Amino acid sequence: MNITKQKGTKDIMFKEVNYWQKFESVIKEVCDSHNFSEIRVPTFEATELFSRSVGDGTDIVTKEMYTFKDRGDRSITLRPEFTAGVVRAYVENGLSSRPSPVKLWYAGPVFRYEKMQKGRYREFRQFGVEIFGSSSYLADIESITVAKEILEKLGIYDDLKLKINSIGCKECRAKYIETLREYLKDKIDNMCDDCKVRYEKNIMRIIDCKEDLEVKKEMPMITDYLCEDCKKDFENLQNGLKNLGIEYEIDKKIVRGLDYYNKAVFEFASKDLDLSVGGGGRYDLLVDMLGGAKTPATGFAFGMDRIVLLLEEKGMSIDKRPDIFFIASNGDAYFKASILQNKLRKMGLITDIDICERSFSSQMKYASKINARFVIIIGEDEIKNNIVTIKNLDTGNQFTADFDASVIMKSIEIM
């Protein structure tokens, strides 16, 4: 029996990989232009890193992590998200001694054991940014602006909406949680099984659960319990977004799945499907929790696979096409052709050549299958006369040119 790929993984190739490459180049371009530096953290970490930061009561830690013992009997986990690893790296490498704020971006695969469906995989890719050292709302705006610019450059910003909320600081959240616990006390027995667990372990997650909506209509919301500081911060954030012309809506149900968030949280969701493509927020307590000095921090993570799905659905055209396929009649012609091919490649063209010693007609068929714009034919007559025959495969036009890269380049431009 053939070995097939694991559930929830995918092979990314050909047309789809062009979308990924485009996406990755836009991420790099925008992050560079905002003076963020890339960080590449390990794919696996000590399990404790995630249970401590993401939170023992979260779905990720309780149900979704790929955890195993290595041969040295250590508990290892494939990263289910990046922030914990980036914070670990920040603390371990003493990045707090660098000029503050430290602005980092990342992109790569993450692993969660989840139920498979469209846009939901077990190995998927995230990109994101983290900003360490600023408690100002301006840092939240900086990270939202980076996200916005990337989405704009990809042509999908208008298909998405930005939803924001504040989940308060440690103090006002503690008061709110007390009120929420009291409100749910005599209702929780009739709620879904997941929420019963959440009631004990991660009560705010009850807010974004899609079950028992009737009970939730009257539920107290954190935004009504914010302290003066958190209220002011949230207003500043909104005014900042307005000043920059960034549209948003307040969604009181956004609490984010992970324990480490506080204050501003946000999500980008597709307008059509209401499917979250990314989100983030402030996590001022995490660096401290993972052994560093108290350091305010904010950031976001986007699901890259979901954005690529959007790009595909929009039919963004980014197919790569070879400019020239060389057809050589025999070994000598092949070696002459490859000299020319090298020169044209250095001049920036995408070129290809037969490496199977096939017949003229098979080479011609191949050139048209790979959708080359031109073929350059080098046979005995061409070698004798020091010329090449060029055929435009779109129009069928055919003509000869000197065996000279610059002449060929010019003739291709005028065809």
Residue 133 interacting with ligand AMP (CB under 6 A) = no
Tell me the C-alpha distance between 5 and 12, whole Å: 12
Binding mask 277-316 for ligand AMP (x = CB under 6 A): xxx---------------------xxx-xx----------
Per CB under 6 A, 147 contacts ligand AMP: no
CB of 94 to ligand AMP, least distance (A): 27
Rounded distance between C-alpha atoms, residue 307 and residue 303, angstroms: 7
Compare residues 257 and 322 and give the one whose CB is closer to ligand AMP. 257
114/194 with CB nearer ligand AMP: 114
Distance CA 19, CA 315 (A): 10
Strands 276-282 and 297-303: antiparallel
Cα angle 241-222-64, degrees, rounded to a multiple of 5: 90
Tell me: does residue 103 bind ligand AMP (CB under 6 A): no
Q: Which stretch binds ligand AMP (CB under 6 A): 40-48, 84-92, 117-125, 324-332?
A: 117-125
Which residues make Cβ contacts (< 8 Å) with residue 164, sequence separation at least 6? 237, 238, 241, 248, 249, 250, 251, 254, 264, 265, 266
Which region among 100-108, 220-228, 275-283, 290-298 touches ligand AMP (by CB under 6 A)? 275-283
Tracing tokens 């009739």 back to the chain, one arrives at 190
- String of contacts with ligand AMP for each residue 244-263, x by CB under 6 A: -------------x------
276 binds ligand AMP (CB under 6 A): yes
Q: Does residue 266 contact residue 279 with C-beta atoms inside 8 Å? A: yes
When asked if residue 79 is in the footprint of ligand AMP (CB under 6 A), the reply is: no
Q: Which of 120, 153, 187, 252 binds ligand AMP (CB under 6 A)?
A: 120
Q: Quote the least distance from Cβ 280 to ligand AMP, whole Å.
A: 7
**Strand 37-38 vs strand 102-111: parallel, antiparallel, or unpaired?**
parallel
Q: Is the dihedral of CA 44, 47, 52, 58 positive or negative?
A: positive
**Count of residues near ligand AMP by CB under 6 A:** 18
Place of tokens 């490498």: 93
Q: List residues binding ligand AMP (CB under 6 A).
A: 81, 112, 114, 119-121, 124, 126, 257, 276-279, 301-303, 305-306
